[in-house]
Amino acid sequence: MSNLKIRPLADRVIIKPQEAEEKTASGIIIPDSAKEKPQKGTVLAIGPGTKDEKMELKVGDVVLYGKYSGTEITIDGEDYLIMKQSDILAII
CATH number for the domain spanning 37: value is: 2.30.33.40
Determine the structural domain holding residue 44 and report its residue range: 12-91
pLDDT at 2 over 70: no
**pLDDT tens digits, 14-25:** 999 998 767 777
CB count within 10 Å of CB 13 equals: 26
Q: Is residue 48 part of a domain?
A: yes
Q: How many distinct structural domains can be found in the chain?
A: 1
Residue 7 lies in a domain: no
- The answer to whether residue 6 is domain-embedded is no
Residue 1 located in a structural domain: no
3-state secondary structure of 12: strand
Amino acid identity for residue 31 in this structure:
P
How much is the pTM? 0.82
Query: Residue 64 falls within a domain, yes or no?
Result: yes
Q: Is the pLDDT of residue 36 over 60?
A: yes
